[in-house]
Structure 1
Amino acid sequence: MSERPEIPTRLLVHALLREDGTVDAGELYAVAGLLGMSDQQVRLCVKRLVAEGRFTQEGRGRKAVLRAVADATGAIAPDVGHVRYAYRQDQGLAPWNGTWYLFAFAVPESLRTARDALRESLLHLGAAPVQGGLYVSANPIAELVEAQARHLGVIDSVSFLTSTDLRVGDIDDPRRLAAEIWPLDEIAARHERLAAFARTSAEQLKRGLSEVERLTLAVELAAEFSRAMTPDPLLPPELLPQPWPGSHARRLFHECWTALRADSPSPPRLFRLYDDAVSVA
């Protein structure tokens, strides 16, 4: 039996948001209970969300209805572009062109916040540090990096380079370079965990589940998928050990998600968000 993912109570509330912007409190408490959350934990979370102005509450207890004041799906929404690109790679639709994309920056200490934000953006986009202030990606992310650098006001401190003959020390073989620069073992382990959870989930679906159990499983599966994919640099298959567990895990996720989606009469917005992300699969 695969380990169940830990899901914050706040994320659960967002995950159960319906297309009409509401969350049924009875459903929320039922799913939370299956995830091991106490009623008190849920009540405190709802109270905080209402106090923050993120939701309004109509009614009390399990008969209440929460209504989102603004779009509250950002916490659980997948990065659609990132996920679609992963499935395109899995299908051989995004082969590597042999180019390394390099980004060098020397942002002054006075702009430390912007420097840290730029670094986080690079990591989120799948780039990795080669040495201090120099990051590399195997994917064409220059436009995204430039847009973020301009937004942060540090574009003058960033250099953009490409290379087809990158060498780090004595290593110049692309596949060996990828293994040296990115933590492939950690990335693979997260995908293997996703695959195990998807297999277990598929078996549960075959045995039959109630609607609340299906919702609970959907939230857990989405959380596990997010953990596997963030961060994943989405290195081209040409640079990865084969067979790579990422493509296998994404296939199992898609199959399980499709089965979950098929028999849900009133699915939360979570389903549509992931349907949109994996639509190329």
Structure 2
Amino acid sequence: MPSSPQSPVKLTARSAVLSVLLGMHPAEATAAAIIEVAVQLGFKESAMRVALTRMVAAGDLHRDNGVYRLSPRLIARQRRQEAALSPSLRPWDGQWSMQVVTVPADAVTRAATRTELTESRYAELREGVWIRPDNLVALHVGRSEFTGRSEALSSRTTVFSCRPEGDVVALTEDLFAPAEWSATGQALLAAADRADDMSARFELAAATVRHILHDPLLPAELLPDDWPGERLRESYDRFRAEFGAFATTALGGGH
């Protein structure tokens, strides 16, 4: 599984735009609104205007009558983010799900397959063999509620149910590194408790949601003690409410 950054990094102007819009429904705002909120967070107006122009040119944003909207690709990212914030899990009976890549493909298709399996919280046991505990209901919006797999992935892989022999806790640690994820999550929670201004909390919230996107969503039976997953989600939910009030104030009550 990919790991999240070990500590929050300073947000760029582009990241600030994305963080603001990814937390909005619908994911759109005027340039004036985005810039006003960003300036209140400590970003320079000139840097924000350059970021908006470059993001439109790169296809990250669409601009229509002065309103900036996320591109379809980033709307899909927003949906993945929302799904990760409210995952749907089922009781675990010890079974694992295995997806085996059985159809050859070119490099682009192989990369897309790897990305989808990783985003679906599978880990690669060996080349072309991906597994995870079978406790996860479909994660991605728009995919089958029964399998969670896109048609492209279904055409390339065969799915099996299995039950590994031996130490499944050790296997889980090797594949998903839950102890490392937990340690980073605990550090983010501690940092959030210490943050005393909106700019610092905004950066920590962005780091928190990036970390949540890599939560392996394992059964409780395979998690280390004091797992911070739910507390991270609650922390981010509290920040979203706080940031909504902050943004309203920054915009002068919404006028």
Q: State which of 95, 111, 117 in structure 2 corresponds to 1:116.
A: 111
The runs of 5 or more residues in structure 2 that have no matched partner are 1-5, 139-145
Q: What is the rounded CA distance, in whole Å, between the counterparts of 2:25 and 2:132 in structure 1?
A: 37
Aligned AA (1:145): R
Residues 143 and 27 of structure 1, relative CA distance in 2, 3 Å threshold: closer
Note closer, same or farther for the CA distance 1:256–1:41 as it changes in structure 2 (3 Å cut). closer
Structure 1 unmatched ranges of 5 or more: 59-65, 269-281
Q: TM-score, normalised by structure 1?
A: 0.66
Cα deviation code 1:181-240 (max 9, x no counterpart): 212233123312321232134xx3xxxx7xxx4xx4664344122221122211111111
Give the C-alpha shift of residue 57 in structure 1.
Answer: 8.6
Distance in structure 2 (CA, Å) of the matches to 1:55 and 1:41:
18
Are the aligned partners of 2:81 and 2:213 in contact in 1 as well (CA < 8 Å)?
no
Are the counterparts in 2 of residues 191 and 245 from structure 1 also a CA contact under 8 Å? yes
1:25 aligns with 2:8: no
Report the number of matched residues: 231
Report whether the alignment pairs 1:97 with 2:93. yes
Q: For the Cα contact (< 8 Å) 1:57–1:67, is it kept in 2?
A: yes
Aligned to 2:212: 229
Q: Deviations over 1:223-267 (max 9, x none)?
A: 122221122211111111112132333333334444544676469
With over 3 angstroms needed to count, the CA separation of the structure-2 counterparts of 1:31 and 1:95, relative to structure 1, is: same
Equivalent position amino acid for 1:158 in 2:
T
Counterpart CA distance in 2 for 1:68 and 1:218 is 24
Separation in 2, partners of 1:33, 1:40: 14
- Structure 1 position 220 matched with structure 2 position 172: no
Secondary structure, in 3 states, of the residue corresponding to 1:241?
A: coil
CA distance in 2, matches of 1:126, 1:250: 17
Does the aligned pair in 1 maintain the 2:38–2:48 contact within 8 Å? Answer: no
RMSD (CA atoms): 3.6
Structure with higher Rg: it is 1
What is residue 16 of structure 2 aligned with on the other side?
12
Q: Normalized against structure 2, the TM-score is what?
A: 0.71
Superposed CA deviations along residues 41-63 of structure 1, whole A, max 9, x for unmatched, are: 323213324545745498xxxxx
Asked if 1 retains the 8 angstrom alpha-carbon contact of 2:29 and 2:68, the reply is yes
Counterparts of 1:186 and 1:23, CA distance in 2? 40
SS of the residue aligned with 1:144?
coil
Structure 1 residues 57 and 112, CA, compared in 2 at 3 Å: closer, same or farther? closer
| SS of equivalent residue, structure 2 residue 208 | helix
Q: Distance in 2 between matches of 1:135 and 1:194?
A: 29
SS in 2 for 1:199: helix
In the alignment, is the contact (CA less than 8 A) between 2:172 and 2:222 conserved in 1? yes
